[in-house]
Amino acid sequence: MRISELSAASGVPLPTVKYYLREGLLPAGERTARNQADYDGGHLARLRLIRALIEIGGLSIADTRAVLAASDDPELPLNEMMGAAHEAVTRRVAPNRGDPAWSDARALVVEMAEQRGWHIEPHGPALDQAADAVAAVLTADMPELHPLIDVYFDAVEPMAHREVEAVLSMGTADQVVRGVVIGTIVGESLLNALRLLAQQSVSIKLLDPDKLPR
Amino acid sequence: MRISELSAASGVPLPTVKYYLREGLLPAGERTARNQADYDGGHLARLRLIRALIEIGGLSIADTRAVLAASDDPELPLNEMMGAAHEAVTRRVAPNRGDPAWSDARALVVEMAEQRGWHIEPHGPALDQAADAVAAVLTADMPELHPLIDVYFDAVEPMAHREVEAVLSMGTADQVVRGVVIGTIVGESLLNALRLLAQQSVSIKLLDPDKLPR
């Protein structure tokens, strides 16, 4: 197909497609005339992946390029490819390494994960983010909230099994990477929204039983 | 304590403490000399709450002010106060009301919630956010991810019971609001980080069993 057809099929505006070509995110089509090139289904799939990375994932062009490079490397084992995608979409936090409360929180997360037999990446941003949140819970002077750390640990374990299995069932490497990105970002948004809906429902039931649905 | 001691005890840089004072987020200390004021444990707790809202929750100064105002209003009934805190911390999405895929997704969320006997606020931002995420899942051409919608619904229900019970056990109204805010914002960040850690652990176990912890 021509570049205009690629644009129409993907819903990505033509100038944006050209921008991705210039940035090297999308490989050039096969040249068919002096000023014309031919694109195929592979280009369309690639364009959908780029869109997911940039528009839903909010990734920068540089991060997008890194994730695509990982998904293009035939030598990279599947778990390292997933790791690269995961890493790119994790929210970065500036860890308060100097703060003893932060170091204690980080040690607690590692300990609780090890008790559950989890394999933790010791230098990943997810661990920093978890330490940040645990430190906030522990320093907030609200002991009633402390048991929730266990509640979240317990909740995410079966969830992660279903998520990883779903993504791995998607087949080819670039589909898996796209699945990790969509699943991580969109799944997070969905999980957070449903958690709020459930909290509202429980609050109404506990505080205002008249509002229960008939 | 002096403002410099308040800064040291909270870990919030002095210029930032002064900024919160100017913005009216932190009440002024008791004046003890022409150019000096005294701060107490209440100021320290308030400063920690402000930090959690802004740094972990990513709230704007205006949203932070609104949440603090709700928590300071002794006349507001408890469930309305919880609602105000909840509302302020929910991520806003611009709903694609004109898009049939979005309307379908929203109807699906309402239907799945009603099947579970949830009481849904029909005009709350959490429902819009859930519809947005469900629409993205359903239009992503990845049927393998569809069962995860049910997985998230199932996961958040028992979690919400524990969360709301924990917050309600905190006693006084302003403690409950602080609990909702900290629990919602920090809890969300913690839940998301632990989900990523669990996904990494499951990925490594499924893809690279040699890396299992001894």
In this predicted model, what pLDDT tens digit does every residue of B119-163 receive, in sequence order? 887 877 788 888 888 887 887 778 899 999 999 999 999 999 999
DSSP state of A53: I
Reference B201, options A173, A56, A110; nearest CA is A110
ipTM of the complex: 0.79
Q: Which helix (H) or strand (E) holds B131?
A: helix B125-139
The whole-number pLDDT of residue B79 equals 67
Reference A180, options B37, B196, B126, B146; nearest CA is B196
Encoded tokens for B127: 């429902």
8 Å CB contact between A101 and A109: no
Provide the chain B residues 76-115 that lie in CB contact (below 8 A) with chain A. 78-79, 82-83, 86, 90-91, 109, 113-114
According to DSSP, the β-strands at A36-38 and B36-38 are unpaired
Distance CA A214, CA A182 (A): 37
Q: Which of A141, A144, A206 has its CB closest to that of B45?
A: A141
Please say if the pLDDT value at position B214 is more than 50. Answer: no
Q: Which of B126, B147, B153 has its CB closest to that of A166?
A: B147
Listed in sequence order, the DSSP H helices in chain A are 3-10, 14-22, 41-51, 61-72, 78-89, 100-115, 125-139, 147-168, 173-207
**Band of the pLDDT at A177, cuts 50, 70, 90?**
confident
pTM of the model as a whole: 0.78
Please say if the pLDDT value at position A92 is more than 50. Answer: yes
8 Å CB contact between A18 and A6: no
Tell me, yes or no, if A19 comes closer than 8 A to chain B by beta carbon: no
Instruction: Find tokens 């497609």 and name the residue.
Output: A17
Please say if the pLDDT value at position B211 is more than 60. Answer: no
In this predicted model, what pLDDT tens digit does every residue of B83-101 receive, in sequence order?
766 776 666 555 566 677 7
Tell me, yes or no, if A150 comes closer than 8 A to chain B by beta carbon: no
Instruction: Find tokens 């959908």 and name the residue.
Output: A48
Q: Give the number of beta-carbon pairs within 8 Å between A and B.
A: 298
Query: CB–CB of B191 and A194 under 8 A?
Result: no
Q: Which of A147, A167, A202 has its CB closest to that of B164?
A: A202
Reference A166, options A154, A179, A152; nearest CA is A179
Distance CA A132, CA A136 (A): 6
Min distance B202 CA to chain A CA atoms (Å): 6
To the nearest 10°, report the CA torsion of B205, B207, B213, B214. 100
The whole-number pLDDT of residue A113 equals 96
In this predicted model, what pLDDT tens digit does every residue of A67-88 receive, in sequence order?
888 777 777 776 777 777 777 7
- Of all residues in chain B, the percent with pLDDT exceeding 90 is 34
8 Å CB contact between B194 and A198: no
Reference B57, options B27, B80, B82, B88; nearest CA is B88
Distance CA B112, CA A97 (A): 43
- Of all residues in chain A, the percent with pLDDT exceeding 90 is 34
Query: CB–CB of B149 and A182 under 8 A?
Result: no
Mean pLDDT of chain A: 84
Q: What is the mean pLDDT of residues A18-46?
A: 91
The whole-number pLDDT of residue A153 equals 96
In this predicted model, what pLDDT tens digit does every residue of A46-67 receive, in sequence order?
888 788 778 766 778 988 898 8
Residues of chain B in contact with residue A79, where contact means CB-CB under 8 angstroms, are 203-204, 207-208
Q: What is the mean pLDDT of residues B42-70?
A: 82
Which residue out of A49, A197, A205, A210 would a mutagenesis test of the B interface target, given it has the greatest number of B Cβ atoms within 10 Å? A197
State residue B23 phi and psi, 5-degree precision. -80, -5
According to DSSP, the β-strands at B30-33 and B36-38 are antiparallel
8 Å CB contact between A85 and A185: no
Reference B56, options B178, B174, B176, B190; nearest CA is B190
Distance CA B2, CA A189 (A): 42
- Of all residues in chain B, the percent with pLDDT exceeding 70 is 84
Chain A residue with Cα closest to B122: A197
Chain B residue with Cα closest to A196: B126
Which residue out of A99, A109, A119 would a mutagenesis test of the B interface target, given it has the greatest number of B Cβ atoms within 10 Å? A119
To the nearest 10°, report the CA torsion of B131, A194, A183, B90. 80
Chain B residue with Cα closest to A56: B136
Distance CA B128, CA B90 (A): 10
Chain A residue with Cα closest to B50: A140
